[in-house]
Amino acid sequence: MSSTVDLTQRLSGKVAVVTGGAGGIGLASARRMRAEGATIVIGDLDRDAGRRAADEVDGLFVDVDVADQGQVDALFDTAAQRYGSVDIAFNNAGISPPDDDLIETTELDAWDRVQQVNLTSVYFSCRAALRHMGPAGRGSIINTASFVAVMGSATSQISYTASKGGVLAMSRELGVQYARQGIRVNALCPGPVNTPLLKELFAKDPERAARRLIHVPVGRFAEPEELAAAVAFLASDDASFITASTFLVDGGISSAYVTPL
């Protein structure tokens, strides 16, 4: 057996469904998995950006509101019908709206909306993916949690943080439950990433941005491509002994007591 892996073929023959695939980490991961040979199905609410993304990766776009169970089922069923399997599910769609803030200022409607899009959607997506992976006896599910799922932040987005904690716990449990059925489930925990979502948040409050950045030992935010490399690894057979993991790609933020001078 060769000691080197041909990364243009690592995901060859695999079908990957990516929610939130029209931009940010989702799009970067779709590009990376395509470069490694996967067939890509992009699910997103943004039809124009979603179609552009699917065209770019020679894949399929499916219009989906991840908070709607029927639409999520249709996304995964369409992928299986069109391409014959669902081998990889990157359940990545999420929101971080400005009205999700400190607990004393975050109202129930904001709380509910974020839970629905960030947590309930992952429950829908895992159920839909497992219906196809179970009979096949193989698959890799990667759920986007966050570094805030493992540590507390004084610059709070209370519902976002709680939702990502839920994604982490659910991923861990599913990883354990399905380990002997050949299905791996991992929680990707990004640190702060240079995505449109983050840029928008920080454009409104540069002081808050600076306060967050100072705690990253690497001294910068991640680029989406750096998360995409982790997604492609977790999706691949190179990660065959990795399941139920808290897969941190965070520039050291969750291990830092103080950052280096």
- β-bridge partners, 222: 193
For 29, the domain range is 15-193+224-245
pLDDT confidence bin for 1, thresholds 50/70/90: low
Q: What is the CATH number of the domain that holds 150?
A: 3.40.50.720
Q: Is residue 147 part of a domain?
A: yes
Consecutive H or E run containing 212: helix 206-213
DSSP string, 189-208: EE-SB-SHHHHHHHHH-HHH
Whole-Å CA distances, 174 to 15, 88, 143, 148, 203: 20, 15, 11, 20, 37
Per-chain mean pLDDT for the chain: 95
| Number of neighbouring beta carbons within 10 Å of residue 121 | 29
Q: Is residue 86 part of a domain?
A: yes
Q: Is residue 217 part of a domain?
A: no
* Whether the predicted pLDDT of 3 surpasses 70: no
Instruction: State pTM to two decimals.
Output: 0.95
Number of domain units in the chain = 1
Residue 244 backbone phi and psi in degrees, to 5: 60, 25
Residues annotated as part of the active site: 160
User: What integer is the mean pLDDT of 28-50?
Assistant: 98
Query: By C-alpha distance, which of 33, 200, 174, 23 is closest to 94?
Result: 23
